[in-house]
């Protein structure tokens, strides 16, 4: 049964090869001080920085730079960004990069004028925003997180070995996002494929929950089939515009809150993967791929009918003469083969996880109750062990 819900998404998207031409129009809506947020400098090497900076200068903006956002943004970096935003009296934060940069920009937007420690308020107590929010815009250079059209912001605290996401309300969503698929071409294969699996994982987290007769599930199946098709093309031909544009659009729809409507949603793969990331600083998508097969085989008996549907509708498994369990297992087997085909990390040991970390990773995994099986901490340790 489709549950009760309300839906709102205020982010305006500009999609395509000419999407950046609309940046100036959006900038005209904000004051003169723009904080330009980006990562390790790849946007300077590939020319995207110069293109964005030229638009900012033509628009008469004062650029306050905040570079060096890491793949797993830290709480210390968050504090640094908040100080810079306040001192620069920033009117807009413009994130140019992938999901981590967009997440970080949103975290700064709600934290710069927070009257207490934002880590405590937003990431430990999960409270709503009650202070001034600096608006955010995004120019996307990597796909995967869907952060360009949602209110999520994940921050890592290395001291406490915690990686936690807060999903803020639509007042924190980016006001606009520029999506040019060509900007994703220069991404190394490792990051590209990690992003592909992040997209898949987002869809599966929402798909493997609730009843079967749900419009959201039909949308999810279509997104998954399109992703599988286009990602296979992109791995062989990274500059195939059709494939990369389809993947960019799928990534946005995978986590812009639409397909979660009317469902409970799971998110345990992300909770476990994020805890792995807090210990290893490994690439997010790879932490998800490393634990997914063990996790889904663990919960399969509790949502068998959906796993059968997944096998048939997404992986084209023929059900003829097979038990439901065999159909479901064959579907997961095809998923595993696809993951290996993409070159994803299939074992936690490959990400630097050691046996002595497992209990701590399990304790750091926030337990969610929206899936087919609410795992105990002991079960999470078992899943982690099977993922080694």
Give the count of domains, the chain.
2
Q: Of 267, 79, 72, 268, whose CA–CA distance to 162 is shortest? A: 72
> Last residue of some domain: 183, 216, 244?
183
- Do 42 and 131 fall within a single domain? yes
Q: Which residue has the higher pLDDT, 96 or 214?
A: 96
pLDDT for 214: 85
Beta-strand relationship, 12-15 and 176-179: parallel
Q: How many angstroms separate the CA atoms of 343 and 341, rounded?
A: 5
pLDDT for 4: 84
pLDDT per residue as tens digits for the range 319-345: 999 999 999 999 999 999 999 999 999
Residue 213 has pLDDT above 80, yes or no: no
- Do 229 and 355 fall within a single domain? yes
Report if residue 222 sits inside a domain: yes
Q: Of 52, 142, 49, 64, whose CA–CA distance to 102 is shortest? A: 142
Q: ∠ at Cα 352 (351, 353), nearest 5°?
A: 100
Burial of 60 (C-beta count, 10 Å sphere; 0-12/13-18/19+):
exposed
| CATH number, residue 174 | 3.40.50.1970
- Do 294 and 365 fall within a single domain? yes
Q: How many angstroms separate the CA atoms of 155 and 86, rounded?
A: 20
Kindly state the average pLDDT of the residues 101-111. Answer: 98
Q: Which residues make beta-bridge pairs with 92?
A: 34
Query: pTM higher than 0.85 for the full model?
Result: yes
Q: Which two tokens stand for residue 45?
A: 């090497």
- Do 265 and 379 fall within a single domain? yes
pLDDT for 265: 94
Beta-strand relationship, 162-167 and 152-157: antiparallel
pLDDT for 210: 84
Q: How many angstroms separate the CA atoms of 154 and 123, rounded?
A: 9
Kindly state the average pLDDT of the residues 56-78. Answer: 96
Alpha carbon 332 to chain centroid, angstroms: 22
Q: Which two tokens stand for residue 318?
A: 């023929």
Report if residue 3 sits inside a domain: no
Residue 211 has pLDDT above 80, yes or no: no
- Do 215 and 135 fall within a single domain? no
- Do 237 and 308 fall within a single domain? yes
Report if residue 112 sits inside a domain: yes
> Last residue of some domain: 183, 206, 224?
183
Residue 350 has pLDDT above 70, yes or no: yes
Structural domain including 341 reads: 189-387
- Do 33 and 154 fall within a single domain? yes
Report if residue 320 sits inside a domain: yes
Report if residue 300 sits inside a domain: yes
Q: Which residue has the higher pLDDT, 41 or 53?
A: 53
- Do 221 and 281 fall within a single domain? yes
3-state secondary structure the chain: CCCCCCCCCCCEEEECCCHHHHHHHHHCCCCCEEEEECCCCHHHHCCHHHHHHHHHHHCCCEEEEECCCCCCCEHHHHHHHHHHHHHCCCCEEEEEECHHHHHHHHHHHHHCCCCCCHHHHHHHCCCCCCCCCCCEEEEECCCCCCHHHCCEEEEEECCCCEEEEEECCCCCCCCEEEECHHHHCCCCHHHHHHHHHHHHHHHHHHHCCCCCCCHHHHHHHHHHHHHHHHHHHHHHCCCCHHHHHHHHHHHHHHCCCCCCCCCCCCCHHHHHHHHHHHHHCCCHHHHHHHHHHHHHHHHHHHHHHHHHHHHHHCCCCCCCCCCHHHHHHHHHHHHHHHHHHHCCCCCHHHHCCCHHHHHHHHHCCCCCCCCCCCCCHHHHHHHHHHHC
- Do 126 and 203 fall within a single domain? no
- Do 212 and 178 fall within a single domain? no
- Do 19 and 150 fall within a single domain? yes
Report if residue 1 sits inside a domain: no
> Last residue of some domain: 165, 183, 201?
183
pLDDT for 1: 63
What residue has token string 């915690």? 162
Report if residue 6 sits inside a domain: no
Residue 212 has pLDDT above 80, yes or no: no
- Do 211 and 111 fall within a single domain? no
| CATH number, residue 219 | 1.20.1090.10
Report if residue 229 sits inside a domain: yes
Kindly state the average pLDDT of the residues 92-116. Answer: 97
């Amino acid at each position: 049964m489709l549950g009760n819900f309300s839906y709102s998404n205020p982010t305006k998207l500009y999609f395509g090869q000419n999407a950046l031409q609309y940046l100036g129009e959006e900038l005209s809506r904000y004051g003169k001080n723009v904080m330009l947020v980006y990562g390790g400098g790849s946007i300077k090497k590939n020319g995207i920085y110069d293109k964005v900076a030229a638009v900012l200068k033509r628009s008469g903006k004062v650029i306050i730079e905040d570079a060096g956002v890491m793949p797993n943004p830290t709480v210390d970096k968050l504090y640094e960004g908040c100080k810079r935003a306040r001192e620069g009296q920033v009117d807009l934060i413009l994130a140019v990069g992938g999901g981590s940069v967009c997440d970080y920009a949103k975290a700064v937007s709600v934290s710069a004028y927070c009257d207490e420690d934002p880590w405590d308020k937003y990431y430990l107590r999960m409270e709503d925003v009650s202070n001034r929010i600096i608006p955010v815009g995004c120019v996307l250079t990597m796909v995967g997180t869907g952060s360009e059209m949602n209110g999520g912001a994940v921050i890592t605290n290395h001291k406490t070995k915690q990686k936690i996401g807060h999903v803020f309300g639509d007042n924190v969503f980016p006001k606009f996002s520029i999506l040019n698929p060509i900007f994703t071409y220069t991404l190394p294969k490792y990051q590209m494929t990690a992003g592909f699996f992040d997209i898949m994982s987002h869809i599966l987290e929402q798909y493997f929950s609730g009843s079967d007769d749900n419009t959201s599930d039909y949308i999810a199946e279509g997104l998954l089939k399109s992703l599988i098709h286009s990602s296979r093309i992109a791995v062989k031909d990274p500059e195939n515009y059709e494939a990369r544009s389809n993947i960019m659009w799928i990534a946005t729809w995978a986590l812009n809150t639409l397909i979660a409507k009317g469902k409970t949603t799971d998110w345990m793969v992300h909770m476990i993967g994020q805890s792995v990331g807090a210990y290893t600083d490994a690439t997010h998508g790879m932490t998800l791929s490393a634990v997914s097969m063990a996790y889904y085989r663990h919960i399969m008996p509790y949502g068998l009918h959906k796993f059968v549907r997944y096998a048939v509708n997404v992986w084209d498994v023929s059900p003829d003469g097979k038990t439901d369990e065999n159909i479901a297992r064959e579907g997961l087997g095809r998923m595993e083969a696809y993951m290996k085909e993409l070159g994803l990390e299939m074992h936690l040991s490959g990400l630097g996880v050691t046996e002595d970390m497992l209990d701590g990773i399990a304790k750091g995994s926030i337990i969610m109750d929206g899936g087919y099986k609410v795992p105990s901490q002991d079960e999470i340790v078992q899943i982690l062990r099977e993922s080694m």
